[in-house]
Amino acid sequence: MDRPSTAHVYERAGFGRPVVRGARPAVVVVDFTYGFTDPQYPTAVDMTAPVLATARLLDAARAAGAPVVFTTISYDAAQVAALAWLRKAPGMAALQVGSRLVEIDQRLSPRPDEHLLTKTGASAFFGTALAGHLASVGADTVIVTGATTSGCVRATAVDAVQHGYPVLVPNVCVGDRARAPHDASLFDINEKYGDVVGLDDVLAYLEALRPDPPEPEQLSTTTSQAEARA
């Protein structure tokens, strides 16, 4: 007897339905710092393609008035000595407070009025005020980009939907150190936690939310009563 395909198994179980997009999306850029995007560091790989794709997305989000949040992951000396995660993944201890590795990649042109939060776990929600910030800006959908797909991006997508947000993950705006975990995580996110979509889809979504430009003032061609009396 042939085994059913993966797609059939998930379809039969009721996974993979599309999310309902809101009118006030926020973009959460997860850990696109030099410690993940600059391959001179052992913790990083070349993330040029997803970084530049995210830069395009951010241009569209800013034009639409969508809130943007950046995250960085960094540790002080006490955390390096104590955190269980850093015993499992000791290479992450290089992401130390004040180092270049924890700075946002400047190709994304972060703005002073865009929220930057520091985290020490995988999810952007864990131990941070992200949920409160998203509520305060009235977000009703979360677009997740960043690194790594199988780690902090996936964890953030899971927590976002658990906080009640529809989730979109543009597939070219996330990156990982290896292809297999990247692909597996995108499949998992798309089936269970959010929609993995193309960049053009998200750009069109944001374009549709752009405020209409104000109409130019019309000069009156009629004579006012004061002018008529004069």
**pLDDT value, residue 51:** 98
**pLDDT value, residue 211:** 87
User: Mean of the per-residue pLDDT values for the chain?
Assistant: 93
Distance (Å, whole) CA 111 – CA 55: 12
The verdict on pTM exceeding 0.85 is yes
Q: Which DSSP string do the residues of 111-169 spell out, in sequence order? A: -TTSEEEEESSSSTTTTSSHHHHHHHTT--EEEEEEE-IIIIIHHHHHHHHHTT--EEE
Of 2-6, 44-48, 114-118, 143-147, give the lowest mean pLDDT range: 2-6
4-29 pLDDT per residue, tens: 788 889 998 999 999 999 999 999 99
204-221 pLDDT per residue, tens: 999 999 987 777 766 555
Average pLDDT of the residues in 91-106? 97
The vertex-197 CA angle with 23 and 126, nearest 5°, equals 70
Q: Active-site residues: which are they?
A: 152
Whether residue 198 has pLDDT greater than 60: yes
Token pair belonging to 178: 């290896």
